[in-house]
Amino acid sequence: MGTYERLYEIVSPKLSAYRDDLEKHDRDTLEKWSGPFLYGYRPTGTSILKLGLKLDEWFPNMEYKPMFSSVQKLMDVDEACKTLDSELMWVVPGADNKWFLHFDGKTFHEVTKERTAIIWKAYVFSLKVSAPFKMGKSICIQ
């Protein structure tokens, strides 16, 4: 059984509205992504955050496109990580999700919203200290 099918079995019984979140958007995402992710859900929808992308994969050309705004140019790794850290709002607390999952690439784990935040912040911190690309004001750490 694939990742999406396992996710569907867990989430579908609790989802009463906005089934397209799970059945279309999450399915499309997971058809293109086989790595780890964080997942929040509630009776009225779902939220997903991929783990494992590099900073330059999150921000091609050092640019960020917020969901409801125009493209923003990022100046350095600190700003990129601060921006990425704020993406947690789509899972905790902004979406008002009730249940949370961490997929480690092999297994689903039920986690608390606090644990979800810890996993995300640790991931963002790992990107910051690895600084895989150099932006305008970045200091190269060797």
Query: What's the pLDDT score for residue 25?
Result: 95
- From CA 71, how far away is CA 67, in angstroms rounded? 10
Q: Cis bond leading into 93, ω under 30°?
A: yes
The answer to whether 55 touches 133, Cβ cutoff 8 Å, is yes
| Orientation angle between helical segments 77-86 and 113-130, nearest 10 degrees | 170
Pairwise CA distance, residues 36 & 29, whole Å: 12
**Res 134: pLDDT:** 53
Task: Report the C-alpha gap between 49 and 66 in whole angstroms.
Answer: 14
Low-confidence ranges of the chain (pLDDT < 70): 94-95, 131-142
pLDDT score recorded for residue 33: 95
pLDDT, position 141 = 42
